[in-house]
Structure 1
Amino acid sequence: MSNIKKMETTVGRHRRVIMFPLPYQGHVNPMFQLANLLYSKGFSITIFHTNFNKPKTSNYPHFTFRFILDNDPHDERYANLPLQGMGAFSRIFLFNKCGADQLRHQLELELSAKDEPPVSCLITDASWHFTQSVADSLNLPRLVLRTSSLFCFLIYASIPLLDDLGYFNLSDNTATPLLDGLGYNNVPDDERLEEQVAEFPVLKVKDVIKIGFKKDNDGMGDIISNMVKQTKASSGVIWNSFKELEQLQLETIRRDIPAPCFLIPFAKHFTTASSSLLDQDRSFFPWLDQQPRNSVVYISFGSVAQVEEKHFMEMVHGLVDSKQSFLWVVRPGFVSGSTWLEPVPDGFPGERGRIVKWAPQQEVLGHEAIGAFWTHSGWNSTVESVCEGVPMICSPFWGDQPLDARYVSDAWKVGVYLENGWKREEITNAIRRVMADEEMRERSRALKQKLDASMIEGGSSYESVESLVDYISSF
């Protein structure tokens, strides 16, 4: 926040940016990091948001908030929608289908406001694909924030091709759903699943299956295809990444998307502490401070995923058998059928570990005691781990996560992919390997050094920020 206060005294706020994040932790975090970055560069910020997963506005007195779409208490469309798990994404389907008129009305009010700076552009999450037509109707430039990797976007853009080749049909017959459609895991032993995907050789067939796409998957296919289409139609795309991490993908993206692309690793600019939708526990830091360097495994599987109790217990036993110290984020509701830690056996975690409901992840990953990150391989978590040079143990659930995990393990070689589900022996072996593999740790450090170099004047990330500021200022 000190950067914000410093810039506030030196830069006038003559232009305004309206920003509209998807109301989920993994999407809110990078949007608010971007908002803080643009504010530090002199822009006034207005945030559009749903009341669902409402942010803590008191943490952002320098922003203006407008709550839209589900702010009518008499609108029955939103009354009975799920609040937890993948069912909560039904809100996204409904907002994309029914939100255009309300968004247009609110934008018209903002554009005509006499006491506010003029609006330069609208920046929305890529999954708010309906916003492109609304912005076009108002002649308002719309930029897209894409919260997953460039590689993931290329895969999503290729779903029609992969579908035609029959990859997604295979999942109907041979894969076991991992809880409420969260993806696929524990697939039967089938040689086809271990084959490389000819069109994307870094992937295995089972990685494509785990994306979880189906033609009739409650509209998810429409969300993905429309996201790709309207991202290509946007005035620009902002990625939470950096050039040296995805050089080849960037070259392909630039051929496929006519609008400019800006790669900015947000975690190097601002933390996500203030944008957390969950209260963060800091009580473990005195314990963490006492642990030797690179001796602790940090474990977090994000804000949405759930596991069955039997799988949770495999994790517990795998951790115990590894004999490694650990800090484990177990979100309430993470274990299906449990409020929080009911399945945990007596005596666990003991002196070797700590369990918390939520943690300031970037601060934890930057702590010298952390030696490995066991993660669901969400893109934000992956980038944060790269930022701190921490090797990873990957247990992806669905969507972009299997793609990220494969890149971490097979392309960058800075982690281990637990490909066969939750098996205590494999968990133990993966933890021991990552904690002891000095070559992997050195590759993680080298990747961090590339990122750090990109941030200094003349570096790719530094230039992306400057180019984005100039581009928005040109509207």
Structure 2
Amino acid sequence: MENHTVVPRHRRIILFPLPYQGHVNPMLQLANLLYSKGFSITILHTNFNKPKTSNYPHFTFKFILDNDPHDERYSKLPLQGMGSFARVLLFNECGADELRHQLELELSEKDVSCLVTDAYWYFTQSVADSLSLPRLVLRTTSLFCFPVFGSISLFHDLGYFNLSDNANMEEQVVKFPVLKVKDIIKTGFKLQTNSILSNMVKHSEASSGIIWNSFKELEEPGLETILRDIPVPSFLIPFPKHFTSASSSLLEQDRTFFPWLDKQAPNSVVYVSFGSVSQVDERQFLEIVHGLVNSEQTFLWVIRPGFVEGSTWLESFPDGFPGERGRIVNWAPQQEVLAHEAIGAFWTHGGWNSTFESVCEGVAMICSPFYGDQPLNARYMSDVWKMGVYLENGWERGEIANAIRKVMVNEDGKEIKERARNLKQKLNVSLMEGGYSYESLESLIAYINSF
């Protein structure tokens, strides 16, 4: 094992990720980045969805909040799907005392520079304030989503979530004309969700600064809004260009398909993955299957256990599928797949990590969003950045096949892919010395050192 003690360490930073794959990945990428800049790193984490600590021997890990196996408040909560998000609500309600105790121990033993938490751990702001400890926030969605999330109560007042007339679904959203009303409805944000979102926004604005997994050239209008409306510094850092997220995967990764992928022609394979939480029913699953078959394109499809409701894995496949043109895996090192020259398109649920990783690798997208920020990302991907196709009408095999062929083989696909490559090139320039992304990282390090 490499001896990390020979490297002189600056002060310690404590990081506290939300225990979901899409939140753990960027937080541990940020931790690696800060470590590379000379800081010592402590990761606070729950037993629920705990990270693989053995992959990070250079970090100190501390259990917090649900480390008592007899605490029925946690043991009775769902472990799978969005129902497990109830755990976050409970942590926010009852975690302050335990976090304060843990931070007091850290502060008494070490020279701690600051606390970095996921924005959804909004209860941590009052704890940090009580200890005079600067708290930085990591936002794991895009910049343009932030003001949308802060406007959910407005959308409720406008009646968006109670519409029964399909004719209104295509209308532009008040304050956000890029979006359609149906995009807002598809987020699934109910009134009870609004308290989580409003607290997240309020306590992010009360923090010492916000770190975003993005870059200026992708989200310039969103950045202008953030800089105008939020009183704390913002730092835009494209984590996938600094560190892979492979080591932070909560699921075991299959690498056995790479020899097959290596044999495929450049830009000939559709990579299909719908994230770590989303689910479809058997009818939707079969529409996906037939859409892939009818597209006549080669594909690599990630189907994690539990993706099909009521199914452990592959019982629903028709005979002969996937055949010679397809490969099925449980989970894959996504950044490595997207960077592979054989990949021609990414069919995704549109979570921000997946969307942004695709942008970073210059891969065109097909989006089938489920909820949350995903329909907003899909709208920007298709209508603003114009680097993919948004499947807006759910799961229908004909539309699926047409979308795949549009990106992979039709004339439109050449322009879509060219725009995707151009965004990647803009990011590469931004990362060079003097570029916005380069300077943003340098500013973040100097800012932390000023505490």
TM-score, with structure 1 as normaliser: 0.93
**1:177 paired residue number:** none
Distance 1:251 1:330 in 2: 39
Aligned match for 1:275, one of 248, 259, 264 = 248
Q: CA deviation at 1:221?
A: 1.9
Q: Is 1:261 aligned to 2:234, yes or no?
A: yes
* 1:452 aligns to 2:428 (yes or no): yes
Aligned to 1:25: 21
1:211 aligns with 2:193: no
- Tell me the C-alpha RMSD between the 2 structures: 1.3
Question: What is the SS of the residue equivalent to 2:252?
Answer: coil
Out of 378, 403, 419, the position equivalent to 1:430 is 403
**2:360–2:424 Cα contact (<8 Å) kept:** yes
Amino acid at match of 1:154: P
How far is 1:123 from its partner? 0.1
Give deviations 1:120-176, integer Å, cap 9, x for gaps: 000000000000000001000000000000111110012222222221222xx47xx
Q: Deviations over 1:40-73 (max 9, x none)?
A: 0000000000000011111000000000000012
Residue 36 of structure 2, aligned match among 35, 40, 51: 40
The 1:10/1:440 distance shift into structure 2, 3 A limit, reads farther
Q: Does 1:236 align with 2:200?
A: no
Please tell me whether residue 129 in structure 1 is matched to residue 122 in structure 2.
yes
Deviation at 1:398, TM superposition (A): 0.3
CA contact 2:92–2:122 (8 Å) conserved in 1: yes
Alignment of 1:143-182 (within 5 A): 143-170=136-163, 173=164
Amino acid paired to 1:208: I
Distance 2:80 2:194 in 1: 21
Structure 2, unaligned runs of 5 or more: none
User: What is the count of residue pairs matched by the alignment?
Assistant: 448
What is the match of residue 185 of structure 1?
none
**Are 1:99 and 2:95 counterparts?**
yes
Give the aligned partner of residue 469 of structure 1.
445
**What percent identity do the matched residue pairs reach?**
75
Q: Deviations over 1:372-391 (max 9, x none)?
A: 00000000001100011000
Q: What amino acid does structure 2 have at the position aligned with 1:428?
A: A
Within 5 Å, give how 1:239-318 maps onto structure 2: 239-318=212-291
Deviations 1:255-295 (A, max 9, x none): 22111000001000000111000000000000000000000
C-alpha contact (below 8 Å) 2:346/2:364 kept by paired residues:
yes
Q: Does the 8 Å contact 2:153/2:191 carry over to 1?
A: no
Q: Which amino acid aligns with 1:413?
A: K
Task: Please report how far the alpha carbon of residue 74 of structure 1 lies from its aligned counterpart in structure 2 after TM superposition.
Answer: 2.3
Q: Is the 8 A contact 1:97 1:130 kept in 2?
A: yes
* From 107, 111, 119, the counterpart of 1:111: 107
Q: Does residue 77 of the first structure (1) align with residue 77 of the second (2)?
A: no
Equivalent of 1:59 in 55, 59, 67: 55
Q: Which runs of 4+ in 1 moved over 3 A?
A: 8-11
Counterpart of 1:379? 352
Counterpart Cα distance in 1 of 2:407 and 2:176 = 26
Q: Per the alignment, in what secondary structure is the counterpart of residue 72 of structure 1?
A: coil
2:131 aligned to 135, 138, 141, which one?
138
Shift of 1:10: 8.2
Once the two structures are TM-superposed, the CA of residue 11 in structure 1 deviates from its matched residue by: 5.2
User: Which residue of structure 1 aligns with residue 375 of structure 2?
Assistant: 402
Cα pair 1:11 1:41 within 8 Å, conserved: no
Asked whether the 8 Å contact 2:153–2:194 carries over to 1, the reply is: no
Please tell me the residue identity of whatever aligns with 2:385.
Answer: W
Q: Which residue of 2 aligns with 1:187?
A: none
Per the TM alignment, residue 347 of structure 1 is displaced from its structure 2 partner at its CA by 1.0
Are 1:191 and 2:184 matched, yes or no? no
Contact 1:123 1:142 in 2 (8 A): yes
- Aligned partner letter, 1:122: L
Change (3 A) 1:76 1:200: same
For structure 1, the 5+ residue unaligned runs are 175-189
